Chain A
Amino acid sequence: MKSLAELEAIRKATISRINVRTEEKGETTRVVIGMATCGIAAGARPVMLAFMDEIQKRQLPHVTVSQTGCVGMCRLEPMVDVIVPGKEKVTYVHVKPEMVPRIVAEHIVNGRPVQEYTIGAAENA
């Protein structure tokens, strides 16, 4: 295993970020990824890790990533919900890891959902 000392350093760095998060309570943006059999088979795992990677790179303390089961629209997987407090939930469909940096930059950071990736755009196509 990589050194546990390294992990200890990560812990210290993380604690200061968590403090930022608690101070801004209620302002947490949630990213929820479908991780049932259908989502996994369609490629949800690399999407999930791409979100983690991007959040880590940009040091966004107020964003959490979580997983959910099958919502019954398996043909649209991998699906990702982005829930910004005070805004309507946005559902992205057929998400690929390459799409993640744009969703994070435009939607999560700058507040403008990427319309062309949303379920609305897919259903009207």
Chain B
Amino acid sequence: MKEIALHLLDIVQNSVKAGASHVDIGFSLDGNGALTMTVQDDGCGMSQEFVERVRSPFVTTRTTRKVGLGIPLLMQNAMQSGGRVDIKSQEGVGTTITAVFQTGSIDCLPLGDLASTMATIIMGSPDRPEFSLRCASPSGEMDFSTEQIRAVMDGVSLAEPAVVQWIQESLQEEIEPILGGIMS
């Protein structure tokens, strides 16, 4: 992956497949350049035994093949920057993945196009789950949720091209002043 935002796009698919009804995404950049990405869902969760094995590329829930690279690639890129990945999960409750990136490291990926990732995520699962995004840095913070948008759209699908475009543009405007420094 070339961007942290692409890892998000990939990792969120796990929450969607876990049948989550809410997926809360957070990016928080502290004064020392540590970027913490969290993806918290209320999906089916994983057993303790599975959590311990899920970091291996040879563990996957899919049945078509025996490899799954989503989490291993995320770990590789987080650790390469001097960061880490934590996975907390409880069956029937949900899963939280936390990835820390040290953005000061020359080996750290850029955050990338987070607005496009969010637009793509929402397009792919326009009805459910509800997604929220919260970004924070010393420069400020922002909040976004599909619930807000859905209330206005009143029955019109969030996958409509005009809506997706609006979401992308409006997020772009809001994220830039907060995390613009690490986007590229």
Contact = CB atoms under 8 A, between A and B. Distances in A.
Interface of A: 1-2, 4, 6-8, 10-11, 13-15, 17-18, 35-37, 40-41, 45-46, 48-49, 52-53, 55-56, 64-67, 69-70, 72
A69 B161 CA distance: 21
A15 B161 contact: no
Contact of A37 (B70, B153, B161, B162): B70
B132 interface: no
Given A2-B166, A14-B156, A67-B124, A55 B64 contact: no
Contacts of B62: 69-70
Interface string B113-130: 100110110011000000
A37 B64 contact: no
A35 B17 CA distance: 13
A55 to B, nearest CB: 5
Contact of B170 (A1, A53, A56, A65): A1
Contacts, number: 93
Interface string B15-35: 000000000000000000000
20 contacts: A1-B148, A1-B174, A4-B148, A7-B152, A10-B160, A10-B166, A11-B154, A14-B160, A15-B156, A36-B10, A41-B73, A45-B116, A49-B119, A49-B168, A52-B164, A67-B124, A69-B13, A69-B62, A70-B62, A70-B65
Interface of B: 1, 6, 9-10, 13, 62, 64-65, 68-70, 73, 113, 116-117, 119-120, 123-124, 144, 148-149, 152-154, 156, 159-166, 168-170, 173-174
Contacts of B160: 10, 14, 17-18
A11 B156 contact: yes
Contacts of A40: 1, 6, 9-10
